[in-house]
Amino acid sequence: MTARPAVTNRRLTGIGMTSARTRDRLIARLREQGIEHEDVLERIRGVPRHLFVDEALASRAYEDTALPIGHGQTISQPFVVALMTAALIEGSAPRKVLEVGTGCGYQTAVLAPFVATIYSVERIAALHVRARRVLRDLKIANVFMRHGDGFEGWPPYAPYDGILVAAASARVPAALLEQLANGGRLVMPVGPDREQQLLRLTRRGDTYERELLGPATFVPLLKGLS
Ligand code: SAH
């Protein structure tokens, strides 16, 4: 036996900073910020966000803030994860979802119980590998993950009832518009740095209804693999 399982167990069962009160404070803050979807709030309360960040940052895991996850990337702010999840599942939840930008897998974990299957693509190999391990430890089994460039979507499993993009671009990549099912929804930050807006598109045949959900700050959607 090595020391690792013991450490992992301690992290999984939780220590002080993962106390119910710490999580309650986060949920209260999300409510104040306007998140009303009760099932989403409950899910955020239940997902152990401290497992998705480095141990040195675990004490800040239940703050409503983005935190570094290495490779110049961040774990999304809980408010943004709640907003995007609710925007995607409101009314009727999609069954098959494409996620672009797995990052550490936190958004994936929050969304997983609301949908049948998630196909999640990440361009940075090290993040892809780490996210896969964390989701496996949490026994989240309805997620397929790929090291790939999300600009291309994930064609073999298209069309998707929902597409969630966790990085910003000037416009929605053409492949993602094509891979969205009729009636499906896409949620994504669009626009130039510092002026991004969270956009929700609903496909109606060859037209796409647009709704702007508010300002956003995301890392850029980048081409190619790393
Ligand atoms: N929601 C994630 C954080 C996403 S940060 C979480 O909770 O951790 C955005 C992620 O998108 C980064 O990991 C970045 O590497 C990834 N990304 C950027 N461009 C991409 C692309 N073209 N294809 C796939 N992933 C991309």
pLDDT tens-place string over residues 122-158 = 999 999 999 999 999 999 999 999 999 999 999 999 9
Could you tell me how far CA 36 lies from the centroid of its own chain? 18
Residue 104 included in any domain: yes
Residue nearest to atom 10 of ligand 1 (CA): 101
Residue 31 included in any domain: no
Number of domains in the chain: 1
Distance from Cα 100 to the centre of ligand 1, integer Å? 6
Tell me what pLDDT residue 219 has.
93
Residue 26 included in any domain: no
Residue 7 included in any domain: no
Q: How far apart are CA 85 and CA 43, in angstroms?
A: 10
Residue 42 included in any domain: no
Residue 40 included in any domain: no
Q: How far apart are CA 19 and CA 225, in angstroms?
A: 38
Domain, as residue range, for 159: 65-215
Per-residue pLDDT of the chain (226 residues; tens, 9 = 90+): 334 444 454 555 555 556 889 999 999 999 999 999 999 999 999 999 999 999 999 999 999 999 999 999 999 999 999 999 999 999 999 999 999 999 999 999 999 999 999 999 999 999 999 999 999 999 999 999 999 999 999 999 999 999 999 999 999 999 999 999 999 999 999 998 788 999 999 999 999 999 999 999 999 999 999 9
Residue 41 included in any domain: no
Tell me what pLDDT residue 32 has.
97
Single out the catalytic residue among 59, 76, 120, 226: 76
Contact criterion met (CB below 8 Å) for 26 and 78:
yes
Domain harbouring 175, CATH code: 3.40.50.150
Residue 92 catalytic?
no
The secondary structure of residue 183, as a DSSP letter, is E
Number of H helices, E strands in the chain: 7, 9
Task: Report how far apart, in Å, the C-alpha atoms of 190 and of each of 12, 24, 62, 105 are.
Answer: 36, 32, 27, 21
Residue 34 included in any domain: no
Contact criterion met (CB below 8 Å) for 85 and 114:
yes
**Beta carbon of 219 within 6 Å of any ligand 1 atom:** yes
Tell me what pLDDT residue 17 has.
52
Residue written as token pair 């647009």 = 210
Q: How far apart are CA 115 and CA 101, in angstroms?
A: 18
Residue nearest to atom 23 of ligand 1 (CA): 150
